[in-house]
Amino acid sequence: MTDDTRNGEPQKLFRWIQRQTGLSRRKAQELIAAGEVSVGGQVVHDPYAPIEGEGLEQVTLRGHPLPVDRPEPRIYRYYKPVGVLCSHDDPHSGNTVGRVLRSEGFVGYTWAGRLDRDAEGLLVLSNDGDLVNAFTHPRYEVEKVYRVWTHRPPDPAKAKGIFERMRAGIVDEGETLRILDGRFEGRPAHAVVRLGEGRKHEVKRLFRSVGLDVRRLLRVRIGPIELHDLKPGEILRLDSAAEQAAFAFARKRLEAS
Ligand code: URA
């Protein structure tokens, strides 16, 4: 999204990896530190090693040469089904988003928006590391909307009070968790909540704190991107207008920080 390749000037190795692959900053740094990256045939362990000129054309990641041209930045929506883990690789579970991406031929892509293994719904896939960062980092407070089914329908008389408590903030394990707003809808009733932050198991913890166990958790929106009628397991590229809007949204977040 932002072009930070200054002709002739060195840049940091991890930034180059990030830029050419769409991996997160942390993942790019981890891969370098783990000895997975070489430049001109030499393994380089320092993520901050300067790189320029011909060196840019001689970088390999896990033995594969990195493309020199920047791929066209793209954004896809993915409906993560229940049972798939948000991890690139997991020795204990082959059922990971990383494996889905590899099997679908998504080279250099990563995702924004973690979901628990037993949660489902929208992940945003992109080969643009800046966009993924803007959608992921807590600093940017990108809104997320969830549909939440609990072990018993909420008492209608108490529903308003429940959301008021969640809006005011609930302290759990030393963290204050809160929603922006919420409502119940449908039959049987389920909750629709909008959150501005992204803490671990946040929705489950919020509902548990008001005596409701989450049975099904479905994310339907991240920032301007909606799940719409995507089916579990489906991956679909945003249309051009939605893609441009998402890049503009991310740019605004990054520039404001
Ligand atoms: N909140 C949760 O509890 N789990 C998720 O996967 C996402 C938000």
Return the residue matching tokens 């198991």: 201
Section 123-128 average pLDDT: 94
DSSP of 202-248: HHHHHHHTTT--EEEEEEEEETTEE-TTPPTT-EEEPPHHHHHHHHH
Distance 198 CA to ligand 1 centre (A): 8
Q: How far is the C-alpha of 207 from the C-alpha of 30, rounded, in Å? A: 35
Task: From residue 173, give the alpha-carbon distance in Å to each of 170, 176, 181, 200, 203.
Answer: 10, 8, 22, 11, 14
Q: Above 70 in pLDDT, residue 1? A: no
CB 133 within 8 A of CB 247: no
Question: Ligand 1 test: best mutation among 114, 207, 218, most atoms within 8 Å of CB?
Answer: 114
Question: Which of the two residues, 90 and 40, has the higher pLDDT score?
Answer: 40
Distance 145 CA to ligand 1 centre (A): 11
What number does CATH give the domain 75-139+225-256?
Answer: 3.30.70.580
- Residues in contact with ligand 1 (CB, 6 Å cut-off): 115-116, 119, 201-204, 217
Nearest ligand 1 atom to the CA of 206 is: 3
Nearest ligand 1 atom to the CA of 146 is: 8
Section 81-104 average pLDDT: 88
Distance 149 CA to ligand 1 centre (A): 13
Domain over 11-65 is classified CATH 3.10.290.10: yes
- What is the maximal distance between C-alpha atoms in the chain? 69
Distance 85 CA to ligand 1 centre (A): 12
Q: Above 80 in pLDDT, residue 92? A: no
- Residues assigned a catalytic role: 116
Residue at 97: amino acid letter: V
158 alpha-carbon distance from chain centroid: 34
Q: Is-same-fold flag (11-65; 75-139+225-256)?
A: no
Least confident of 71-85, 93-107, 221-235: 93-107
Task: From residue 164, give the alpha-carbon distance in Å to each of 160, 168, 169.
Answer: 6, 6, 9
Q: How far is the C-alpha of 237 from the C-alpha of 143, rounded, in Å? A: 21
pLDDT of the residue at 6: 40
Domain parsing of the chain, residue ranges: 11-65, 75-139+225-256, 143-222
Residue nearest to atom 3 of ligand 1 (CA): 201
Q: Above 70 in pLDDT, residue 2? A: no
Nearest ligand 1 atom to the CA of 116 is: 6
25 alpha-carbon distance from chain centroid: 13
Residue nearest to atom 4 of ligand 1 (CA): 201
Q: What is the pTM of this model?
A: 0.79
Return the residue matching tokens 């489902």: 120
What number does CATH give the domain 143-222?
Answer: 3.30.2350.10
